[in-house]
Amino acid sequence: MLHTFIAYVDDKPGVLTRVASLFRRLNINITSLTVGRSERDGLSRMTIVCEASAEAGHRIRASLFKLENVVDVDDIAQAPNVTRELALIKVAVTKELRSQIFELVEVFRARIVDLTAESLMIEMTGVESKIEGLIEILRASDCCILELCRSGKMTMRRSHHVSSVVRAMSVPANESEEPRPVDEDAPALPQ
C-alpha cells in the first residue's frame, strides 16, 4: 500500500541522506519526497510517499523516530488530509495551437506562467490524478511536452493538531473543533 509520512527534521547537512538511507536499507523505493521549511524554526518538513506493506508503516515510523535529526513523524495512513502536487510543464506550441492550450489550461484551472513564440509554460497545482489528467491530454494533443517538473506530494492532515490550533488562535476548544469542510477535488483557489 501507499504510505505517506510527514517528518519534521533538523535543517542541517546530511539529514536528507539519513532519512533516505533508512528507506534504502529497508529496500523500499521512495515514490516522492518533498522538503522545505516549516512553521518551526530550524526544522524542515518532509512529505515522504512510499510503497510498502501495510505492516511496514509502524516500523518505518518507529525507525524514523530513532534518527537523531528527526524531531516528529506522522504516519498519515488513511487519515483525512489535503494532498497537493505542483507541476511545471513546458510545451512546444505554435501560434495556431495556442488557443487550444489556453482552453485546456482554463478547464484544468491551471495557469500560463511563461509564454514565448514557440513555447509556453503551464503551472498547475492539484491532486495527483488531476495533474496526470492534464499531462495525458497534452500528450494526446498536437503539441509536444518539452519539460515536465513535478514537486511530488505535499500532505497535511485536516483539522488534526487541535490543541496547537487552539493555542495559536486562543479560542475555546469546542469552537475550533468544528470541522471546516474543504473538498479535496475542488478546484484550486485562484492565486
Partner 1 sequence: MGTHATTQAANAHLTTPTRLTGAEIVWATLYGEGVTDVFGYPGGAILPVYDALRKFPIHHTLVRHEQGAAHMADGYARASGKVGVAMATSGPGATNLVTGIATAMLDSIPIVCITGNVSSKVLGTDAFQEVDITGITLPVTKHNFLVSRPEDIAPAIRHAFQIARSARPGPVLVDITKDAQQGTAIFDFAAAAPPPHRPHPMRRVEVSALDQAAELIRNAQRPVILAGHGVIESGAGEQLLSLAERAQIPVALTLLGLGGFPASHSLNIGMMGMHGESWVNHAIQDADLLIACGMRFDDRVTGATATYALKAKKIHIEVDPSEINKNIKVDVALVGDLAQVLDQLLPRVATRNGAAWLKTIEASKGAVAVHDIKNLPDSGHLYAAHVMHDLWHITGGDAIIVTDVGQHQMWEAQYFHHERPRTLITSGGLGTMGFGLPAAIGAKTACPDKEVWVIAGDGGFQMTAAELATIVQEGLKVNIAIVNNGYLGMVRQWQEFFYERNYEATPLVSPDFVKLADAHGLPGRTVRTRTELDQAVAVARAAKGAFLLNIHVEKEDAVYPMIPAGNALHEMIRRPGKKPLDKPAGNK
Residues within the interface to partner 1 (CB under 8 A): 13-14, 17-18, 21, 25, 55, 58-59, 61-63, 65-68, 71
Pick 46 or 91: Cβ nearer partner 1: 46
Closest separation between CB of residue 59 and partner 1, Å? 5
Closest separation between CB of residue 20 and partner 1, Å? 10
Closest separation between CB of residue 191 and partner 1, Å? 36
Pick 20 or 145: Cβ nearer partner 1: 20
Letter for the amino acid at 82?
Answer: V
Pick 13 or 179: Cβ nearer partner 1: 13
Neighbours of 104 (CB within 10 A): 17
Closest separation between CB of residue 7 and partner 1, Å? 13
Pick 29 or 129: Cβ nearer partner 1: 29
The neighbouring-strand residues paired with 85 are 126
Q: Going edge to edge, which strands form the sheet with 43-51?
A: 30-37, 43-51, 2-10, 70-75
Q: For 47-58, b where at least 16 C-beta lie within 10 A, e where not — what string?
A: bbbbebeeebbe
Query: Residue 76 corresponds to which cell in the numbers above?
Result: 498519515
